[in-house]
Amino acid sequence: MNTVLNINNLFLSLIPAEITGVTKMVMIALIYLGIFAVLGLYLVLLERKVAAWFQLRMGPNRVGYRGLLQTMADALKLLSKELTGTVKADKFLYNLAPYFVIVTSLMALGIFPFTKNLQAYDLNIGLFFLIAISSIGVIGVLLGGWSSNNKFSLIGAMRSGVQTISYELSVGLSLLTMVLLTGTLQLSEIVEVQKDGWLIAQGHIPAIIAFMVYMIAGTAETNRAPFDMVEAESELGAGFHTEYSGMKFAYFFLAEFINMFIIAAIGTTVFFGGWLSPFGITESLPWLGVFWFLLKTFLLVFLMMWFRWTFPRLRVDQLLTLEWKYLLPINLVNIVIMAVIVWLNLSIQF
């Protein structure tokens, strides 16, 4: 595990040498926590604006210029709300559950290479770590639903377990398909490989199929419509977080949007060259890498929002049929085809 030198040098110049170790890690964590909070708030605002655009209405437009401070006002409202719960809830697990969800999302953010020199930690198993850490978030959902002592919450939690475990298979296999091309799990090296062309172009049709499967499965794994059976309000009230209020509810709500960003950021890194510009048009300006990374990521976020406001919610049986009878077999065949392409050295290089 290597911490990127530019970030280290910045912090080493700001704090005394004798307290560099733990303090440096804490400061990096606090910066990412700030990014986490702001990103989550404004992804909520983006969702509301996109929904309004699709439904031909204005959306938030009262608080701040064109409604830009609306989510800040919502956050202050949630901070002021009383934390209520059921009398017979398992208090320890009930209070612990939101932190499972929020901490796993925060840990995943620290792995992404926003540019060549802007990455908190560059793990040699970065992609594997992201898949593994995203699997832990479902524990928070299961704990929250089970410990609430509410049947609707329990049903939502059980649905979450089934859905997340099922669709993680397709997410993992679609990413493994691209790892065959790169030969590495390290995110920075995956981006470097794409200097000869983004992987979605290098890998021909199997790469395009892998991307399509990844986006469908990623949307399902984040429990977003049309796969939001976990919190189907027409059936379960609010699903697994029915009994949560105030900031505990906000943690679950915020984590959903951060997880959407994480899914989009993985897609950007693995399929679309991460911080690399199209055809290397800004290669001489490396500081523009953040711009290209965020632009690609937010385009994928917009695509996921487009899914939500276009397709109707699936039934539980349809949800599982899509994964086990369609996406998983397609993924297995696709990974074999990609292996043949790599074996015969048929990938496209620019």
pTM metric for this prediction: 0.91
Burial 144-161 (b: 16+ CB within 10 A, else e): bbbbbebebbbbbbbbbe
pLDDT in tens, the chain (350 residues): 554 545 555 555 655 655 566 777 787 788 888 888 889 999 999 999 999 999 999 999 999 898 999 999 998 998 888 888 778 888 999 999 999 999 999 889 889 999 888 888 888 999 999 999 988 888 898 999 899 988 888 888 888 888 888 999 999 999 999 999 999 999 999 999 999 889 999 988 999 999 999 999 999 988 887 888 776 666 666 778 888 988 888 898 888 899 999 999 999 999 999 999 998 888 888 888 999 999 999 999 999 999 999 998 888 889 899 999 999 999 999 999 999 999 998 888 76
The DSSP line for 234-280 is HHHTTGGGTT--HHHHHHHHHHHHHHHHHHHHHHHHHHS-TTPPGGG
CA distance 331 to 209: 8
Other Cβ atoms closer than 10 A to 132: 14
CA distance 319 to 314: 6
Q: Is the dihedral of CA 341, 342, 343, 348 positive or negative?
A: positive
Angle of helix 151-182 relative to helix 246-271, nearest 10 degrees, comes to 20
Q: Could you say which DSSP state residue 312 is in? A: P
Report how far apart, in Å, the C-alpha atoms of 160 and of each of 114, 145, 216 are: 30, 10, 16
Per DSSP, the three-state class of 157 is: helix
For the stretch 202-216, pLDDT in tens is 988 999 999 999 999
The ranges assigned to domains in the chain are 1-80, 82-344
Q: Could you say which DSSP state residue 115 is in? A: B
CA distance 199 to 181: 8
CA distance 338 to 210: 10
> Which residue matches tokens 């990844």?
214
Taking alpha carbons only, the member of 120, 277, 235 closest to residue 188 is: 120
Angle of helix 91-109 relative to helix 126-147, nearest 10 degrees, comes to 160
CA distance 216 to 230: 16
Please answer whether residues 210 and 221 qualify as being in contact, where contact means their C-beta atoms are separated by less than 8 angstroms.
Answer: no
Q: Which parts of the chain fold into alpha helices (H)?
A: 5-14, 21-54, 70-80, 91-109, 126-147, 151-182, 187-193, 199-202, 204-221, 233-236, 246-271, 289-308, 316-321, 328-343
